[in-house]
Structure 1
């Protein structure tokens, strides 16, 4: 049986922190499903299709280098439902700090109650990416700051173009 991991998030935008998690998750799974959350009440910076393209371009080669195939999907329901649809045996969650741990432990507990067959695996962020959040990246880019230390080159280019002043 193929060991499948599900890594769900908004990925708006893809950051070096996401890449760090994908690299680590690729070592643990043979198939890594990146699930882009799409919620009608939220207005993301990038469309689901744009985020999928950025994930394919940035994370695809990393997962492959670690021996995992990658699949990118969107979802607008529960992560446990997505995990079941894709036969995932584990949820992948990245942790930057203790605040993340508190939230992620609650989420893991709820997911375990709903889908006990799917194990949550926490992956600690590498030192260089711990402070990176997609929210901060969006804020820096919106104010004209340089986000290149925090995101892959293609993402930095897309952010610059998105916030270019006319």
Structure 2
């Protein structure tokens, strides 16, 4: 960076399993707040992913390309968020909020992250009202039980999920 000019670099981390319209909304809006937004696709030991890390990276890259936002890049990571953010020269963590329950968890995480690196701020964005109920976990559950997920994901992601559900089988069948 040139002397005197501080770039706003944000990291929006998540598992994106799968990426939803809510995620896309936060990416689109978060990209307006920073010079560069790094969407960090991570693993989460407490989650059982439907898609591999490589599949999720490809899915997120495809969806961001469709958004047409030029200052966003997608990077996979499997490390402590604050270490990843520092490696990206980030000074902002972008987090999306859907409900009060999200806030409680995110507030705790922001406090822990501040203890690890006080130079990196956490910024919360409220999901668009029409997108607030959407959660990847629920999208997967609906799909696994044969429900329609079109209102929650892009047509391409809907197809990705349908192919995966066909491969692993629906719940309640058999």
> TM-score surpassing 0.5?
yes
Check if 1:89 corresponds to 2:94: no
- Equivalence map 1:1-166=2 (5 Å): 1-39=6-44, 42-62=47-67, 64=69, 68-164=70-166
* Structure 2 residue matching 1:73: 3-state secondary structure: strand
Shift of 1:42: 4.8
The 8 Å contact of residues 60 and 70 in structure 1, kept in 2 or not, is answered as: no
Give the root-mean-square deviation of aligned CA atoms: 1.7
Q: Residue 15 of structure 2 contacts residue 43 of structure 2 at CA under 8 Å; is this kept in 1?
A: yes
Whole-Å separation in 1 of the counterparts to 2:122 and 2:68 = 19
Structure 1 gap segments, 5+ residues each: none
* Alpha-carbon distance, 1:43 to partner: 3.6
- Of the structure 1 ranges 150-159 and 1-10, higher mean CA displacement relative to structure 2 is found in 1-10
Give the aligned length.
Answer: 163
Distance 1:155 1:44 in 2: 15
TM-score, normalised with respect to structure 2:
0.88
Structure 1 segments (4+ residues) deviating >4 Å: 39-42
Cα distance between partner residues in 1 of 2:133 and 2:140: 14
Q: What is the CA–CA distance in structure 1 between the aligned matches of 2:96 and 2:44, rounded to whole Å?
A: 21
C-alpha change, 1:63 and 1:32, in structure 2 (3 Å) is farther
Render the CA deviation track for 1:110-137: whole Å, top value 9, x for unaligned.
1011111110000001011000000000
Cα displacement string for residues 49-70 of structure 1 (whole angstroms, at most 9, x for unaligned residues): 1111111111234361xxx522
**3-state DSSP of counterpart to 1:88:** coil
Per the alignment, do residues 81 and 102 of structure 1 end up closer, same or farther by CA in structure 2, a change over 3 Å counting?
Answer: same
Question: Per the alignment, do residues 6 and 20 of structure 1 end up closer, same or farther by CA in structure 2, a change over 3 Å counting?
Answer: same
Distance 2:123 2:46 in 1: 29
Unmatched tracts of structure 2, length 5 or more: 1-5
